[in-house]
Structure 1
Amino acid sequence: MKVIIFGATGTVGRRLVMQALGLGYQVTAFVRNPQKLDDLPHSNLSLRGGDVLNRNDVREAIKGHDAVFCALGAGRKGGVRAEGTYNIIKSMQEEGISRLICQTTLGNGESWGNLNFFWKHIMFGWLLKAAFKDHEDQEKHIRASQLRWTIVRPGAFTDGPLTGNYKHGFSHHDKSTKLKISRADVADFMLKQLISDEYLNKTPALSY
């Protein structure tokens, strides 16, 4: 399996790279600055420099891969997640690649019902309003793509260890979760989607 990871130097993306290599996949890390991954020398790792906002960069990088992971961060300006994901989708369609696994956020769509007052009104309603809108637009592009996609909606990130013990795909009426998940466990769950169709064209929520 040959996979490409967008947002590979981010807090989730870097863990995706390391765990995918540990599983024996051939990994391409798409990054603006490849030097940021110089500390991960591995025979199965290829570093590809480029700008996700440049369609040609994305299309050239994506050629020949079996699956695509998207863990884009906010970047240097607003709208990077949505615009970058749109470029990824178009490049996948042009190159005949169908499998996309993308990390957005808990609170999108029907999972809004999982959030408490603090996350609804303070964080996403005020402090992270622009970032939340970016994720919403990102999901709209994916849903309209007709790719074989999975949108993973994790709670707030922690630096905790990989446990493999978390809740996923729970109802939007569920108020029992901690609304938190380690970045390592987010990567673990995303990689598991490569060998499962359980959440094909679905939006599983993820939390402890």
Structure 2
Amino acid sequence: MKKIIVFGSTGLLGKPLTKALINAGFEVSVMVRNEALARKYFPDAIIIKGDLKNEADVERAMKGQEGVFMSLSVLQTEKESEWHAEQQGLETIVRIAKQQGIKRIGYLSSLVHLYQGINDFDWWVFRLKQQAVKTIKESGIPYTIFYPSTFMESIFYQSKQWKMIALGGKSEYPLYYVAADDYAQQVANSFKVLHGESKEYVAQGPEAFTQDEAAKLFIKHYKKEKLFTMWAPMFMMKMMGAFSRKFDYGYHIVTALNKYPEKFEAANTWQELGKPTITLKEFAENIG
């Protein structure tokens, strides 16, 4: 396995992933709409201009590739009825991968999406993620699916609002926060050690915290400015979600994060792909 193409390379999680693959010695291609941004991020990658909505672009980008990794997501502002990269886009990639004889498909899922169906929880975004996994597994192509816990980056890039770390409801279970760089290295290692088999990996960090514990620890060690926590009751988030897709997304994802009974499941991942080393303290000290 030498040639890998990444879809979703310029996103928050796609960027460290793509860099890890390049640093691991793979010939990495990325299909992007913004070529200038991709060249800035990945000077050593092959940049292919294209749109995931255009099947001809995807065919051209995947020609001659051996492996594919999909770092796709549903935007907080998207409607269920709209086109989604992680649904229609993913289906296009998988279909063309079968036609072109791709040797391995990699996919970023999530651990918390397994909350779907627990306590009668039902959310179209999690149904979409379930279908994505099903599509990949039924393709007949060897696959690697990653189910990461909450990323440390979410504290800084999503929960941080001005000088506040926004929290909602009560976190009932600790989460094994994982740094994107550690996860990215595990993905790169998976393309080195796997051959014809299909594997699923849980990606979790070395420590577990409830969301309020994580916020307080981040604030303690983040030195670039003084931060505070801001708490919002879930009923308020639900009410605001009736008027805003972004708040509706926030209500559902926070509900799942608060209630999903996460436990440590990454022992096999650590053994086969390497143990994460970045602590939340170190992340807070170096971010930004």
Letter in 2 for 1:105: S
- Residue 190 of structure 1: which of 183, 187, 211 is its match? 187
- The residue matched to 2:175 in structure 1 has which SS? coil
The equivalent of 2:51 in structure 1 is 51
Q: 1:147 to 1:56 in 2, by over 3 A?
A: same
- How much identity, in percent, do the aligned residues show? 23
The equivalent of 1:105 in structure 2 is 110
Corresponding residue pairs, total = 181
The equivalent of 1:71 in structure 2 is 71
Q: Distance in 2 between matches of 1:70 and 1:177?
A: 28
Alignment of 1:62-141 (within 5 A): 62-75=62-75, 77=78, 78=80, 79-108=84-113, 112=114, 125=121, 129-141=123-135
Greater fraction strand: 1
The equivalent of 1:157 in structure 2 is 151
CA displacement, residues 18-76 of structure 1 (integer Å, 9 cap, x when unaligned)? 1122122211111122222232353x411112122222211110011121111012257
The equivalent of 1:172 in structure 2 is none
CA displacement, residues 171-191 of structure 1 (integer Å, 9 cap, x when unaligned)? xxxxx9734211112211111
Q: Is the 8 A contact 2:50 2:57 kept in 1?
A: yes
TM-score, normalization by structure 2: 0.56
Q: 1:184 to 1:130 in 2, by over 3 A?
A: farther
TM-score, normalization by structure 1: 0.76
Letter in 2 for 1:132: F
The equivalent of 2:37 in structure 1 is 36
Radius of gyration: which is bigger? 2
Q: Distance in 2 between matches of 1:135 and 1:184?
A: 23
Q: Distance in 1 between matches of 2:8 and 2:18?
A: 10
Q: Is the 8 A contact 1:83 1:138 kept in 2?
A: no
Letter in 1 for 2:20: Q
Letter in 2 for 1:5: V
Letter in 2 for 1:22: N
Q: Distance in 1 between matches of 2:21 and 2:64?
A: 17
Q: Distance in 1 between matches of 2:144 and 2:52?
A: 20
Give the alignment's Cα RMSD to 1 decimal.
2.8
- The residue matched to 1:8 in structure 2 has which SS? coil
Q: Distance in 2 between matches of 1:131 and 1:59?
A: 27
Q: Is 1:10 the counterpart of 2:4 in the alignment?
A: no
Q: Is the 8 A contact 1:150 1:199 kept in 2?
A: no
Letter in 2 for 1:54: N
The equivalent of 1:171 in structure 2 is none
Q: Distance in 2 between matches of 1:32 and 1:57?
A: 11
Q: Is 1:145 the counterpart of 2:147 in the alignment?
A: no
- The residue matched to 1:5 in structure 2 has which SS? strand
Q: Distance in 2 between matches of 1:17 and 1:41?
A: 8
The equivalent of 1:167 in structure 2 is none
Letter in 2 for 1:96: G
- Structure 2: which 5+ residue stretches go unaligned? 155-172, 206-288
Greater fraction helix: 2
Q: Is the 8 A contact 2:142 2:196 kept in 1?
A: no
Q: Distance in 2 between matches of 1:9 and 1:24?
A: 19
Q: Distance in 2 between matches of 1:202 and 1:177?
A: 26
